[in-house]
Structures are given as structure tokens and as C-alpha cells.
Amino acid sequence: MSTLNTPKAALRNDWQLEEVTALFELPLNELIFRAQGALRGYFDPAQIQLSTLLNIKTGACPEDCAYCPQSVRYDTGLPVEPMMQVQEVVTAAEEAKAQGATRFCMGAAWRSPKRKDFEIVLEMVKAVKGLGMETCVTLGMLTEPQVQQLKTAGLDYYNHNLDTSEAFYSQIISTRTYQDRLDTLAHVRDAQIKVCAGGIIGMGENLQDRAQLLLTLANLPAHPDSVPINQLIKVEGTPLAQAQDLDTFDMVRCIAVARILMPASYVRLSAGRTEMSDELQALCLLAGANSIFYGEKLLTTENPSLDKDRSLLKRLGLQAVQ
């Protein structure tokens, strides 16, 4: 039972597509009501988890992810930057901790890490862990030995998104397969590193694709511990720069369905908050999101300012998870 005496919904890995699409089709009030119930079984609804992102290596990525400003294939005007120094990363993590973040997520624009770079990432993980923060990295595909080394270095979470449904995936990325992603997630899970896996909406996918993405995540052998739901950030120069705008409530519905399918996971209202009103963000939190990226930048794009977020959390009566 949670502190508020709401029963814990069963953790299921046998969701059927019809059940998930039926959730998407519920009247919004009913969907949100059910999602709040699911949240309250496992979490204190007055608490929110804050993760800060840092891009430790920017741009020139060989992959062709159609949404991504860091792919070498698209001219987005993003300056390519070499990998950061360990000390620079530690300084950024110290700042994030001082601002109230509990998890520090380091991202790199790689298909997969090269040996020399990987050694440096291991040092970064050890150093950030040494600050008493939760550590997370997102480095692309990993082999089993690399996962073991990250585990030994003290890594808590690995972020690797499925991004969309298997059926829609080939329209977004051609340089690696859906199975590659599932394999990396399996290596991470087998090493008992916590899994952070979610996706993006607003790339032209249909409702069935969104339902299938969430179904695939929920029917993994264990639910991802953390589920980032990103709204596409349309970056000029990427193939998806002109993608159609989402309906305002699509994000709310996706978050609510993720919450119902994976009630014990942190569901993160991720990319896209700068385009959202305070009211829409509040609705996403009401629909069961209990985590955000906190810090003025995501990887290469803007995120709300710390002041704005502090004020929003205060107005909503939310406390940061310690």
C-alpha cells in the first residue's frame, strides 16, 4: 500500500494491443482517473523526480535517426564538439546536485562507444557516483562486456529508447534495427542495471504505433524502471522539421497509458516542455508523470529555466524526490 492507502495495481507483462488501444480511446477524464489510481499505488503523488542531462559528446553521429539534430547526415547548424573532460562533467554534476537534481544523465552522440572513449565514460560514471548522485548514461548500442564494465563503475541507469513501434521504426531509422535496441536493453537488464526506455511522439506515427510502443515496453521481461515520453522537438534541417503538430492532449494520453501499463515505473514528461503551457504540464503530471528533465538544456535543445520549473513545482505543491 502507498502512503495514501491506494492498492497497488498488479505488474503485468501480458498486455494485449486491444486493451492498450481501448485505454487510448477512453474519455480523457476516465483515463486520467485510472492513471492517478495507478500512480498512487506505488508513489507519493506529491513527489517528483528530477534528472539533469548533459551531452558529453555533441554531433557528428553516424546514425540517421530522422528526429535527431546530432546526426551527421543532416545540416542543422549544430557545432560538433569533442568529448568533454571528466572534470568538466563532474563540475556540471555538482551544479545539478546543488540545484536539487538526484540523477545525472550523460548522453553521447554515438552509434556505440569506442574503446578509448568508453574508458573515459567509465571514469565519469565513477566520479559522478562519488558525488552521491544516481548515474545514467545513454551511449547507443552496448555489448555485454561493456554493460558489465558500466555496472562495475557504479552505473545506476542506462537510457536506450525504443522510440516508436517496430512497424513505424523503419520510417525513422535505417542504420540499426529494432532488434538491436531490444538486445541492448536485454544486456542492460541482465546486468541488473536499471533500464530507462521510452519513446517519442509526434513523428507522424498513428495511435496504433503509440499503443504498440507502450505495449512493447510494458511486455518486456521487466518494466523499464524509468519511461521517458518525449514530444518531438522539430529541429530545422532534420527530416522531421515539418512534422505535423501534435494535438495538445496526445501527450497527456500517452503518459496516462504508460502510467497504467507500468504503474511502478517513473514516467518522465521529457522533451517538449518548452512548448507546453504550465497547465498542459500540470495535466501531464495529473495523468501520472512523476519525473522531468530539470536544467536549462536537454542534449542540444532548450528546456525550461530552473527558475520557471522551481516556480511551477511550487505552485503545484510538488516536492523533489530526495
Residues marked active site are found at 61, 65, 68, 105, 136, 196, 268
**Contact yes or no for 50/102 (Cβ under 8 A):** yes
Closest-CA residue to 148 (of 192, 194, 86): 192
Cα-trace Rg, the chain? 18
Site map for ligand SAM, 182-221, x if CB under 6 A?
A: ------------------x---------------------
Partner whose footprint covers residue 58, from ligand DTB, ligand SF4, ligand SAM, none (CB < 5 to 8 Å by kind): none
Site map for ligand SAM, 148-177, x if CB under 6 A?
A: ------------xx-x--------------
Element of type H or E holding 319: strand 319-320
Q: Closer CB to ligand SF4, residue 63 or residue 134?
A: 63
Q: Closer CB to ligand SF4, residue 43 or residue 178?
A: 178
Sign of the Cα pseudo-torsion (268, 269, 272, 274, in order): negative
Partner whose footprint covers residue 232, from ligand SAM, ligand SF4, ligand DTB, none (CB < 5 to 8 Å by kind): ligand SAM
Alpha carbon distance 201, 204 (integer Å) = 8
Least Å distance between CB 55 and ligand DTB?
7
Closest-CA residue to 204 (of 241, 249, 236): 241
**Contact yes or no for 108/140 (Cβ under 8 A):** yes
Cell numbers for 173, please give them.
531509422
Q: Closer CB to ligand SAM, residue 146 or residue 161?
A: 161
Q: Closer CB to ligand SAM, residue 191 or residue 233?
A: 233
Sign of the Cα pseudo-torsion (243, 247, 252, 254, in order): negative
Q: How many CB atoms lie within 10 A of CB 87?
A: 10
DSSP string, 88-152: HHHHHHHHHHHHT-SEEEEEE--SS--HHHHHHHHHHHHHHHHTT-EEEEE-S---HHHHHHHHH
Phi/psi at 156 (5° precision) = -90, -45
User: 265, 270, 281, 290: which one contacts ligand DTB (CB under 6 A)?
Assistant: 270
Report the Cα–Cα distance between both ends of the chain, in Å, rounded.
21
**Rule CB under 6 A: which of 119-138 touch ligand SAM?**
138
Site map for ligand DTB, 163-202, x if CB under 6 A?
A: -----------------------------------x----
- Asked if residue 240 binds ligand SF4 (CB under 6 A), the reply is no
Least Å distance between CB 201 and ligand SAM?
9
- Asked if residue 199 binds ligand SF4 (CB under 6 A), the reply is no
- With left for phi above 0 and alpha for psi between -120 and 50, is residue 58 left, alpha or beta? beta
Site map for ligand DTB, 275-304, x if CB under 6 A?
A: -----------------------xxxx---
Q: How far is CA 8 from the centre of its chain?
A: 24
Contacts of residue 95, defined as CB under 8 A and 6 or more positions apart, other chains included, come to none
Site map for ligand SF4, 133-152, x if CB under 6 A?
A: -------x------------
The residues that touch ligand DTB, with contacts defined as CB under 6 A, are: 53, 69, 107, 138, 159, 161, 198, 228, 230, 233, 270-271, 298-301
Residues that bind ligand SF4 (CB under 6 A): 61, 63, 65, 68, 70-71, 109, 111, 140
Binding site for ligand SAM (CB under 6 A): 61, 67-68, 70, 107, 109-110, 138, 140, 160-161, 163, 200, 230, 232-233, 235, 271, 299
